[in-house]
Chains A and B, each alone.
Chain A
Amino acid sequence: MFVINCPYCGERDQSEFSCGGEAHIVRPKQPTELSDDEWAEYLFMRKNIKGVQFERWNHAHGCRKWFNMVRDTSNDKIHAVYKMGEKPPVI
């Protein structure tokens, strides 16, 4: 449990948010062209990093907006929070 600095609402308890998992997985532009392997890669395969990870969060019990976060999964330290569409920071 930790405190997240929502880019729209400010600091709130993590329990107000829901995590959307790994960020910057791009939706296939031509879904009909995809092989089964490519679908599996897009839908299921995850880096599941122990360390600095880029991920999506939603302020579910607040403004309900999505945003991105950089967090170290080995100690839950948050390095950066940035809005959807913004360029990911270099950590």
Chain B
Amino acid sequence: MKNKYSIFSLIKNAFSQHENWKQAWGNPEPKKEYEAVIVGGGGHGLATAYYLAKKHNMKNIAVLEKGWIGGGNTGRNTTIIRSNYLWDASAGLYDHALKIWENLSQELNYNIMFSQRGVMNLAHNLQDVRDLKRRTHANRLNGIDAVWLDTKQVKEFCPIINISQDIRYPVLGGTLQRRAGTARHDAVAWGYARGADAMGVDIIQNCEVKGIKRNGDQVEGLDTTKGFIKTKKIGVVAAGHSSVIANMAGLKLPLESKPLQALVSEPVKPIIDTVVMSNAVHAYVSQSDKGELVIGAGTDAYISYTQRGSHDVVEGTLKAILELYPIFSRMKMLRQWGGIVDICPDASPIISKTNIKGLYFNCGWGTGGFKATPGSGDLFAHTIANDEPHKLNAAFNLNRFVSGDLVDEHGAAAVAH
């Protein structure tokens, strides 16, 4: 890789006051034709391009991004990574991603600040206890680390949790995945962009797709704000806007797009060194390296592309946070934002071919796509290059909505949506 980052390059650049670092990726104009075009320059899209170039030797490819790379949901999520999903298909998918995360900084030569600080999921009622214990067993059968903690062990692991049994939703225990954790979300997009660019991928920002040209059942290219681009393979990774792109090709998807919010507090000294999620009361919290509490709220219950979200949703989440962590009662919230998430009826993603030749979709990640970024890119690249799914994403095809073979992860999600 050109401009390899190392302690030596850091020292060398220190002598020139760090003014001679080269740009990490280029800013090319689109060519007339590409072997494949990826629509969407978020983590998943950039990872797809990276693995297409690296593992499938496709060098003449482009990533089109209507804004700036990593400016959508990649830069808006709460950076949580875990693989403790209930069903075998999901466990395979998300643990594939987790295994890539574990070595990704080295692979990309880019510090993505991956931190395996553990993710704890709390139980607040008898049904939670049963569900989470069942999930722990299912995880372990799939080779995924998971342990059940009783209330006392929860308190030992995260001392600021209020374990009083007199609160509305008392803590009855929880599960812990120690390999889970967080990563710096922007760095993931930047690392993949730099890696893809080094292998010749054109990353084209400020380029919005306006139409998809078809010849019968085969795609021929894309109309964009930077002109027509010819290609036989289009991989769409447009998150909340997947349906908008699908409509351009005359396709309907089983998706609904909704705003999902997150917020961060003012920065404080280290107080919570893990990630704690709570399904029943819909609250999850971790602390960023800058010291901000990172809090995830829920989705609005209606379709919207506004990237805002409603105030009452945030209010509900903060009420739950305060009951579980009374210590945060005088914290000030610094920023709040929304991203548009595309939700599937079974709360599982779609990484699939379509009935239009050369058109592939990677969508439906809903409220939890960040954790899957490397695995999603790897499997989507495989699907595009071979025109066939990898065995790990075979279950996540579009046809499952016709066959009825759904991957129902609603109950197994970390928080209810």
Contact = CB atoms under 8 A, between A and B. Distances in A.
B401 A73 contact: no
B310 A73 contact: no
B301 A44 contact: no
Given A15-B312, A40-B401, A46 B241 contact: no
Contacts of B257: 48, 50, 73
A61 to B, nearest CB: 12
A14 interface: yes
A50 B258 CA distance: 11
Interface in B244-259: 244, 247, 252-257
B2 interface: no
A9 to B, nearest CB: 18
Contacts of B301: 18-19
Nearest to A13: B312
Contact of B254 (A46, A50, A73): A46
Given A19-B302, A50-B241, A55-B303, A44 B401 contact: yes
Contacts of B304: 73, 76
B402 A48 contact: no
Given A19-B302, A74-B306, A47 B247 contact: yes
Interface in A1-51: 1, 13-15, 18-19, 21, 36-37, 39-41, 43-50
Contact of B243 (A41, A44, A47): A47
B403 interface: yes
B305 A46 contact: no
A1 B311 contact: yes
Contacts of B255: 46, 48
A80 to B, nearest CB: 16
Interface centre among B302, B345, B403 (most CB of A within 10 A): B302
Q: For chain A, what secondary structure do more than half of its interface residues adopt (helix, strand, loop), or is it mixed? A: mixed
A63 to B, nearest CB: 18
B305 A74 contact: yes
A68 interface: no
Contacts of A74: 305-306
A45 B254 contact: yes
A49 B247 CA distance: 9
Nearest to B342: A48
Nearest to B315: A15
A53 B303 contact: yes
A15 B306 CA distance: 17
Interface string B381-417: 0000000000000000000011110000000000000
Contacts of A75: 306
Contact of A36 (B244, B256, B306, B402): B402
Contacts of B310: 1, 14-15
Contacts of A53: 303
Interface of B: 241, 243-244, 247, 252-257, 300-306, 310-312, 342, 345, 401-404
22 contacts: A1-B310, A13-B312, A14-B310, A15-B310, A18-B301, A21-B303, A36-B404, A43-B345, A43-B401, A44-B254, A44-B401, A45-B254, A48-B257, A48-B303, A48-B342, A50-B243, A50-B244, A55-B302, A73-B305, A74-B306, A75-B306, A76-B304
Given A1-B300, A15-B310, A43-B345, 12 more contacts: A13-B312, A15-B312, A18-B301, A41-B252, A44-B254, A45-B401, A46-B256, A48-B255, A49-B303, A73-B257, A74-B305, A76-B304
Interface of A: 1, 13-15, 18-19, 21, 36-37, 39-41, 43-50, 53, 55, 73-76
7 smallest beta-carbon distances between A and B, as pairs: A1-B310, A48-B243, A19-B302, A44-B254, A45-B252, A40-B402, A44-B401
